[in-house]
Structure formats: structure tokens, C-alpha cells
Structure 1
């Protein structure tokens, strides 16, 4: 092309524009579009598809309207793909009613919604906790003669589980095979998560066993859900038994799974075991990440080992991981619980210097401390003024 032997056509331009829009580089994409127009190459529906998709992801709805108008003025009418991009973007922004209005508009324009349209709106309502509305869309889809796919079922099952309405989720799960579809690993993971969420441990164990007997291979998320559930309800031995099997097989044992185990042990008062696993990470070729350090700091603070927690913080920084708002709040809560106000105030300065503030849990704990010992406030203010000098 640079030698002038080949001129890019609309196909080539669309590829470049789509890549730029997916990367969020709309300005560069517009420059390419202007170059197209100068060469008298007219944008087509794929060109507008890319721009509208990019603008939706950036939440620039006014510009989306402008591009829609421009497209229509050029007698390029939106197809179901473009409407779906807009509907999905609105739903992810929480503007589900607006998305429904777009769907009604597309029907008026003679463009029939497809399963992607309905799934996007269902997902939008489920994310807002409005499962009844999502179920209404599900039923409308069926009435229109569109058979739900496994994604449709998974969206609705997840909505029920998020609302802790696990019986409804289980009922829908039973309907899947009756309707000619098949559950997948995501379906099982979602219901497992829901069962653990409402404390139905026996049912969760049974469901996990059924998943294995049905021939499904658990993925990383399955094992994370089960391990988290076991640790949450104090089933430490069962959690370690599963983890040891996975570790022996080297199956789905990346750093995030170790984070689950280290955190679970720490939360169940088994800090020494958590520390031992943390210390062997380098021996098995795994590097702790920021979350690993935060989990260890949290465990140390729970045991009142604040000097070790502080050392872990510095080790975290030495290894290239910056402490975040969670790190500082955990440490401040540790100092508060141990009535180490001087150290807490020092961390307050470091926190504010990095743009972090107390979260709701830390604020609540501080209020309780001040309620029981009002003199602590004077101490904090005095120490803070000295530090600021």
C-alpha cells in the first residue's frame, strides 16, 4: 500500500476501524473514517457497527444517538446486530428500561429481536436484582417462538441465585433438559455458588457429586466455589482434602486457588498452616500477587501480629506490589482492635497521602472505639497534628 501498488478498500478500512474501536481509540478510528471519505469510499453498516460498539462501551450515549442519526440519514438502516450492541451497552449501564424501548423501536422498524437481544435484557434486569422482570422477558421470548439457549437459562439461574431464591434456580435447572437443552459447567457453578450462599451445605455437596457423576469436568471456578464454601462454613478438613487432590494432580492450581486456601485457613484460625502454604509458593514456581499479600496481612492482623503484618506490607512493596485501600484498612482495623493508636495514626497519614480513605467497616470500628473511649479522639487529633508538622 505504501508503494502505491494497492489501494485499501472498504473491507480493509473496516478491519482497522473495528480494531481501533475495540481498543477504545475512537479518535484514531475517526481519522481513518475521514481518510476513507476523502478517497470517496463510503462507510457501510459494518463501519457504523464498529463505531456504535466502541461508543457504547465508553458510555457515550449522546454520540451513539448522533451516529445512529447519521447512519439513517445515509439510508443505512440498523440491523439486529447494531440494535443488539446498543441494547447490550444500555443494559450493562443499568439502563434496562431504555434498552426495552430500543427493542420496541426495532420491532416498529421491522427488525425482529433475536435470542441475543432477549438475553441482554434479561441479564440487565438480573444484574439489578429484578429477576421477576427478567423472567417476564424470558417468557416473552418463548411466546415469540424463540427457544431459550443455555445462556438464557444461565442468566436467569444466576439472577435467582443472586437473590438467594435457590429453589427457583433449581426448578429452572430441572427444566433445561426437558426443553431440549443441556446444562454446562457454568450452570453447575452458578447453582453451587447459590447453594453455598444460602448455607445449604449438604445440597451443595450432593450437587457437586452429581456434576462429577454426570461427566462434567470442574474448572477453576468450580473448585474455587467449593473450597470457598467449605472454608466459609468451617469444613477445613474437607477443603484441604480437595485442595490436596488438586495439588497432587497439578489441576487448576494457579495462584488464585492458593489465595482461596490461604485466606480460608487464616479465617478459620489456622494461620500457621496458611503461612506454611504462603512460604512454599516460590518452591513450586508460583509468585504471590497483591491479593496473596493482602490475604496474609489480613490473617496476621486477625491474630494481632501487627509487626509481622507491617513486615508483610513492606515485603509486598519490595516485590513490586503497591498496597491498596484494602491493605490499609485491614492494618488500621488491626491497630484499632489492639488499641495501638499511635501506629494507626501513622498509617492514617500514609493512607491519605496515597489518596485512600476508611471504608465502612473501619469507620464503624473507629466509631465504636470512640464511643467506648472518647479520649481516643483527642489522642488521634494530637498525634495527627504532630505527624502533619
Structure 2
């Protein structure tokens, strides 16, 4: 079986909720002399996180780095989203801060994930600082960014701030 066929099978198994079969297929790859690449690892990591698992993806990520596979920003995005989705928010924030200290350039999707995560664990000031950093970096907040910010501002009774942000969203053309 070729790598692209295995990737397709793993994606289908993930969609059908059969990630354990996808993991078995992934584990079988070396015996078939097929070397997993970044996309293969990302597919299995995403599937495992979607199935609610957190220990196996950590091990697979460690294996990925040990095997010299390139870790891209999208790989980190999968890990950060997966940790947040599975209630490992503090771990996701710690990883995000570690990556930030290494001057990793984050995508807007990752920044949105982390703003949401920070609000989720009551780190309101950090979330606001991250939103300000989006603006300062030249990235343009999107609908998801504003939705997260406005939802939490309203949840915490900051109606005027939410209204101002909503107005800014309209003026930004979203």
C-alpha cells in the first residue's frame, strides 16, 4: 500500500469513529516499509484527539520528533486544539507559552484556540493580551476571533466592551 492510500484509509476510519483501526494501520506501516511523514503523523494525532484520547497522541508526537519528522505549525495547531478539546487546557497553555518563547509564529486559528482556552480557565487578562497581540502583529481578527471575545465579554458582564468589539467587527468588514 502506498502512503497516500494509507492516509486516505486513516482519514476515513477517523470519520467513521474507528480510530483504533487507523492506529493499527499506522503501526503496521514500518513492517510494510512505508515511512510515515508529517501529514501521516498529523492525521493520526488529529484522529486520536478527536476520539478523546490524550496519552497516545503525546507518545506519537514524541515518536515523531525522535524519528526526525518535521514538526510544522499545523502540527502544533493539532496538538494545541486537541489538548484544549480534551480538557488539558493548562497543558496547552504551557506548550503555547513555550513555543512563544521560541518565537514561533502562530496562525490566527491557533491564536483563536488559545484565546478561547485562556478564557476557559479564567485567564481573562492573558486572553485580552493575546487579542491585542493579534492586532499588533498585523494579523486581522476574523469572525471566530470576535465570536470568542464577544461571548466571553458578555458572559462576564462587560456589555459595553462587547458592544465596542461588535462595532469594531462591523467596521472591519466581517
TM-score after normalising by structure 2 = 0.90
* Counterpart in the other structure of 2:91: 168
Pairwise CA RMSD: 1.9
Match of 1:230 in 2: 153
Is the 2:49–2:86 Cα contact (8 Å) retained in structure 1? Answer: no
Instruction: Give the number of the structure with larger relative contact order, counting CA–CA contacts within 8 Å between residues 6 or more apart.
Output: 2
Residue 79 of structure 1 corresponds to: 2
Where do 1:301-340 residues align within 5 Å? Answer: none
Gaps of 5+ in 1: 1-77, 253-389
Q: Which residue does 1:159 correspond to in 2?
A: 82
The structure whose Rg is larger is: 1
Structure 1 pair 80–165 and aligned structure 2 pair: CA distance change class (3 A): same
The structural deviation recorded for 1:200 is 2.4
Shift, 1:105, TM fit: 2.0
Q: Which residue does the alignment assign to 1:93?
A: 16
The one of 103, 108, 112 equivalent to 1:185 is: 108
Cα distance in 1 for partners of 2:80, 2:54 equals: 9
The CA deviation string for residues 144-194 of structure 1, in whole angstroms up to 9 with x for no partner, is: 100211111011101221233333112222343566853110110111111
Structure 2 residues without counterparts, runs of 5 or longer:
none
Match of 1:219 among 129, 142, 160: 142
Query: Aligned partners of 1:211 and 1:109: how far apart in 2?
Result: 45
- Residue in structure 2 matched with residue 141 of structure 1 by the alignment: 64
Q: Using the alignment, how far apart are the partners of 1:163 and 1:102 within structure 2? A: 24
Q: Which residue of 1 aligns with 2:37?
A: 114
Counterpart contact for 2:77–2:110, Cα < 8 Å: yes
Q: How many residues align structurally?
A: 174
Distance 1:166 1:174 in 2: 12
TM-score of the pair, normalised by structure 1: 0.42
Q: 1:195 to 1:174 in 2, by over 3 A?
A: closer
Cα-to-partner distance string for 1:310-357 (whole Å, 9 max, x where unaligned): xxxxxxxxxxxxxxxxxxxxxxxxxxxxxxxxxxxxxxxxxxxxxxxx
Of residues 120, 125, 131, the one that matches 1:197 is 120
Asked whether 1:103 is paired with 2:32, we answer no
Match of 2:173 among 242, 251, 255: 251
- Separation in 2, partners of 1:181, 1:92: 31
Decide whether the 8 Å contact of 1:88 with 1:117 is kept in 2. Answer: no
Distance in 1, matches of 2:24 and 2:102, equals 29
Q: Any idea what SS the aligned residue of 1:217 has?
A: coil
